[in-house]
Structure formats: C-alpha cells, structure tokens
Amino acid sequence: RRAVDDGGTPDDPSDDRPLWGLVTASRTIDITRQNAYLWDHIDSVFTVVEAHENPLAGTTRHQLRGLATLHTGGLLEIEWGTIAAADPPRPAEGTGLYRNYSGAVLTGHAFDRAFPGLGKWMVTLAAWLFAVSTMISWSYYGEQGIIYMVGQRLVLPYKMVFLAATIYAAAGIANAHDMEVLMDLGTGAMLWANIPIVVGLGFLSVGGLNSYVTRLNTGQFVKRSAVSNGDGI
C-alpha cells in the first residue's frame, strides 16, 4: 500500500485526505475449461477494503477498483485505482478479487452461477432481440420526423446515417463504460431538444387537459350506448 497526496480529487472534495492505492504483483493463474468463460474479456475488477465510513453502504467497506489484463499463458496483471482516506485502508477480512459485472452481463452471470452457460446464451439472445426491436422502432420514429420536417428527399440519407451509427455502435463500443457514455450523450441530446418544446408548447397540453376536465364535469361526453341508439351526436 502507498500514500499519494496530489492536492485532492473528486473522491476527496475537502482536499484534506491522501490517496491510497494497492500494489499487487503479477501472478500466473490456472484456468480450467469449466471456468474459462469467467475470464473471457476480463476488464474491470474490484476488491473490498476497510476505511472510513461509507455513507452509501452504511459500513466501513469500500470498493477499490482496478483494470485487469490477462496475458497469454495465464499471466494476470491489475492496475489498481485509488481511494481517499485519512488513515491507511486495509483489505477486508475474507475478501478477494471480484469481477465488476454490470447491466446485462451481471444478469447473465447470475444465471450462469446456477446453470453454467444458460445466462450467456439466454441473456445475449434477449438483449439482441430487444436491441433489434429498438432499432426498428426508433429508425421509424426518426424517418417520420424527417418526413415531417423536410419531406421525402432526405429519407435515404437519414437511413444511411442511421445504418452507419448502428454499425459503429456494434463494432466500436468495447465495454459497458463506453456504452453508458453514448447512452448519456443520447439522453442529453433528447433533453436539450425536448425541454424547449415542453416549455414553449406546454400551455397547449395544459389547455387541452383543462378543456377535457371541463367537458367531463359538465356532462358533455355522451355514453357509447346513447350514440349507438341514435340519441346523441
């Protein structure tokens, strides 16, 4: 363990706690055929340390994350991150090295713990079907938006851009972090586009709701049975 005082980080807003990191030696591990899938594309890992009180967990335990690289021959190297703490952290009793699963990968791993191989295929298939259906629906929404704004002449260029973005997302995103960054970018773009519309045209929705409530309370709506009998309009 080593202490580094670099004048504060986002983990240490008060700028009064040193940073502590973990130094571990590279080691060679034996990977059996049964657990080989656990080491496929290993990247983000963590261990558990005891330090100051963790307000998120309600305990003194914290995750210390690192990036793991598995080289040819089973040589494992880990580049650990740091944690800001007034006193030297120590490894939690009974802890070890854990892979930092997230999202669909975590769901698949949970299934694999009970039925090895099931989560890998079932969750992958479910995520693939969801992704395909999402691409179809959102490409259609975008196409209709293009038609509404500029007409049919830009539909084909729009489809080409959408297809290129789909290929980039499938081939260019290598980990969950990059995917989350792209998701945040897309969500932010939608917010910037929708907030001015909601602020500028929200009065139309409120007016429509008020009109509906007024007509409902004054009995202006006619029952379906009355309409079918010719008693209403």
Nearest 5°: phi and psi at 225? -65, -40
Residue 137, helix vs strand vs coil: helix
Residues constituting the chain: 233
Please compute, for residue 123, the number of CA atoms within 13 A of its CA located in the half-sphere on the CB side.
17
| Tokens 């989350």, residue located | 180
The identity of residue 105, as a single letter, is V
pLDDT score of 155: 92
pLDDT of residue 8: 44
> Can you say whether residue 41 is alpha, beta or left, with left for phi > 0 and alpha for psi between -120 and 50 degrees?
left
Mean predicted confidence (pLDDT) in 189-218: 89
- Whether residue 140 contacts residue 148, with contact meaning beta carbons closer than 8 Å, is answered with no
Rounded Cα distance between 118 and 125, Å, is: 11
Alpha-carbon span 19 to 212, nearest angstrom? 60
Task: Write out the DSSP string of 151-194.
Answer: -GGGHHHHHHHHHHHHHHHHHH--SHHHHHHHHHHHHHHHHHHH
CB atoms inside a 10 Å sphere around CB 171: 8
Average pLDDT of the residues in 39-48? 81
Is residue 227 pLDDT above 60, yes or no?
A: no
Name the token pair of 185: 């970018």
**How much is the average pLDDT of 122-136?**
89
C-alpha 187/C-alpha 166 separation (Å) is: 17
Residue with tokens 């959102």, as numbered in its chain: 138
The pLDDT of residue 173 is 78
Query: What is the pLDDT at residue 156?
Result: 93
Average pLDDT, the chain: 81
Residue 11 near residue 83 (C-beta atoms within 8 A): yes
Helix (H/G/I), strand (E/B), else coil: 106: helix
pTM of the model: 0.53
Nearest CA to 101 out of 115, 119, 83, 114 is that of: 119
Kindly state the DSSP code that residue 39 receives in the 8-state scheme: G
Q: At 179, list the tokens.
A: 């995917």
Position 232 confidence tier, pLDDT thresholds 50, 70, 90? very low
Q: What is the token pair recorded at 159?
A: 């489809």
Share of the chain residues as helix, strand and coil, in percent rounded to the nearest 5: 50, 20, 30
Strand (E) or helix (H) holding 27: strand 27-28
User: In this predicted structure, which of 6-15, 44-53, 102-111, 174-183 has the lowest mean pLDDT?
Assistant: 6-15
pLDDT digits 0-9 by tens, 153-191: 999 999 999 999 888 887 877 766 777 888 888 889 888
Quote the pLDDT of residue 3. 41
